[in-house]
Chain A
Amino acid sequence: MVSSSEFISELIVVLPLLAVLVFVYAAYWAFDIRKALAVPVYRRQALGIGLVSLGFALLVPGITGNFSLPQPLLQVPILILFFWIDVTVLAARRSDPLVRDILQWRRVRIVLWALEIIAIVIGESLIVLTGQLFSNSINPVYWILPTFITFTAGAVYLPFSALRSKDNTFRKHLGWFGLFLIVLLVGTISSVSFAFSDITFVLLIVTFIIGGYCLYRGVRSLVPLNKLPIEANSK
C-alpha cells in the first residue's frame, strides 16, 4: 500500500518529466512543420513557437531546481517570445485581404527590438560590473523593461492580428497560444497565492502540463494538417 506522501513524492518526480516531454513534443512538431513550409515569414513563425516550446521545456527543470539558465542567457526566453510575436504579427499581415500594416508594426518593431537589445546589453553590463543579479539599478532595465515590452506588444498586437487575418488556421494557432498563456497565468498565480508545499508544487506542474498541451495544439495549428488520402497511401 502506497501512502499519500509517497504517492505525492512519486508525482513530484514523474509530473515534471511529463511536462518536459509535452513541451519537447510541441517543439518537435514546430520544427518539423517549419521544414515543410516554403515562405520565410511562416518558417520563422514556426521556429519562434518551437523555441518558445523548448524554452518552457527548460523552465520546468528550472522550477524543480534541477537546472538554471546561465546568467548571460536569463533574458533569452523573453527575446524568443518577442521574436515569435514579431513574426506572428508580420505573418498576420499576409493573410489580411487588404495587407494592412497592423498598428504600424513594421516601424514599431524596429524601435521595440532596439529597446529590447539595448536594455539587455545595459542590464548584462550592470550585472557584470556590480556582481549582483537584482538591484535597484538592474531591475528596471534588465528585468522589467524587456518583459514589459514583450508582454505589452503581445497583448496589444496579437488580438489585432487575429482580427485582421482571415486565415482560420492562423486564428486557431493564436487561440491555442492565448489559452496556453491563460492556463499558465492562472496556475502560477494560484500556486503563489498559497504557502508553498508539495501539493501546490504538484498543482503548478499539472498546470504546466495542461499549458503544454495547449501549446502543442497551437503548434499543430500552424498549418492545416490533413489526413493522408487512401489513394495516396495505396500507391
Chain B
Amino acid sequence: MASTGISSLDKLLGEGYPDGSTVLIIGPPGIGKEALGYWFTNSGLSQGDFSFYVTKRSVKEVLKDANGFGIDYRQRVPLWMAREGGQIKFNISDLTGLSFKVKEALKENATRRIRVVTDVLSPILMLNPPETIYKFLTQLFDDAKHYDLVLLATLEEGMHPPQVLSAMQELFDGVLELRFYEEGLVARPLFRIKKMIGIPPQPSYFNFVFSRTGMELSAYGK
C-alpha cells in the first residue's frame, strides 16, 4: 500500500492506494483534485519513493499551486515532466515520445517504489484520436503492473462527453470522485470512493475541506 499522504483518506482506503493500482480522480475544475496528487507525491518523497510528476503546466505554476495547499517541494523534488521547467519536456502532441520517456524514467528507477501523478489525461483525451489514446493507456497500465507502481491521474469533469468519462472509470482500478452538490442554499463539495481495487464498493459520501496540513474528511449525512 502507498500512503495517500492524507491520514483520513488512508483510513478509508485501508492504508493507502494498493500497489500496482491505477487511480482516477474525477471532478470539475477548481474543486482541488490536484491537491490529492500533491500530497501523494509529497508522501512518496518523504518515504524515499521515486515520485514522477507529469504535468501540462509549468513546474513554476505547479509549485505555486502546491504551495497554496501547504506543500513545499523545494526540500525534496520529484522528477518533473512538464511543459516548462522540468527535467523532461512534456509535449502533448507526441504520445509515442511521451510513452517512451515515461518508460525510460521508470526503468531507471525500477529498484524503488514508484509513484506517478499526472494531470495530462484530459488534454490527451481531447487532442488525440481514440486509437492513439487506447495504445498509450494500455502501455501505461502495463507499465504500472510491471513496475508495481501507483498511478494517480486527474480527469476534468465537464470537458468530456459522458461516454468518455464512463470508459475512463471502467479502465482504472480506482475512482475517487469530488463533486459540488446543491443542498438548500448551500453549495457543498462532497467526496466519495466510487471504486477501489481490493475494497468493497463504498456508498458513503464525505464532506471535505482542504487545509495546509491535508484534507479533512467527515462522513456526510443527516
Let me know if B205 and A232 touch, CB within 8 A.
yes
The residue of chain A having its C-beta at the shortest distance from the C-beta of B215 within the complex is A38
A42 at the A/B interface (Cβ < 8 Å)?
yes
Instruction: Note all chain B residues with C-beta closer than 8 A to A229.
Output: 181, 205
Question: Which residues 16-55 of A have a CB within 8 angstroms of B?
Answer: 28-29, 32-33, 35-43
Task: Select which of A41, A167, A232 is within 8 A of B156 by beta carbon.
Answer: A167
Instruction: Note all chain B residues with C-beta closer than 8 A to A36.
Output: 31, 180, 187-189
The residue of chain A having its C-beta at the shortest distance from the C-beta of B124 within the complex is A97
The residue of chain A having its C-beta at the shortest distance from the C-beta of B220 within the complex is A232
The residue of chain B having its C-beta at the shortest distance from the C-beta of A25 within the complex is B185
**Bound-state Cα–Cα, A29 to B210, Å:** 20
Question: Which residues 155-207 of B have a CB within 8 angstroms of A?
Answer: 156-159, 179-183, 185-190, 203-205
**Bound-state Cα–Cα, A32 to B65, Å:** 22
A168-B182 CB under 8 A given contacts A94-B29, A98-B92: no
Let me know if B30 and A37 touch, CB within 8 A.
yes
Question: Which residues 96-151 of B have a CB within 8 angstroms of A?
Answer: 122-123, 126-127
A224 at the A/B interface (Cβ < 8 Å)?
yes
**Bound-state Cα–Cα, A225 to B181, Å:** 5
Let me know if A39 and B123 touch, CB within 8 A.
no
**Best-buried of B83, B158, B179, B210 by chain A (most CB within 10 Å):** B158
**Bound-state Cα–Cα, A91 to B65, Å:** 13
Let me know if B65 and A39 touch, CB within 8 A.
yes
B6 at the A/B interface (Cβ < 8 Å)?
no
B68 at the A/B interface (Cβ < 8 Å)?
yes
**Bound-state Cα–Cα, A36 to B185, Å:** 13
Let me know if A167 and B221 touch, CB within 8 A.
no
A10 at the A/B interface (Cβ < 8 Å)?
no
**Bound-state Cα–Cα, A166 to B186, Å:** 27
The residue of chain A having its C-beta at the shortest distance from the C-beta of B179 within the complex is A226
B: residues with CB less than 8 A from A are 28-32, 34-35, 56-57, 65, 68, 83, 92, 122-123, 126-127, 156-159, 179-183, 185-190, 203-205, 210, 219-222
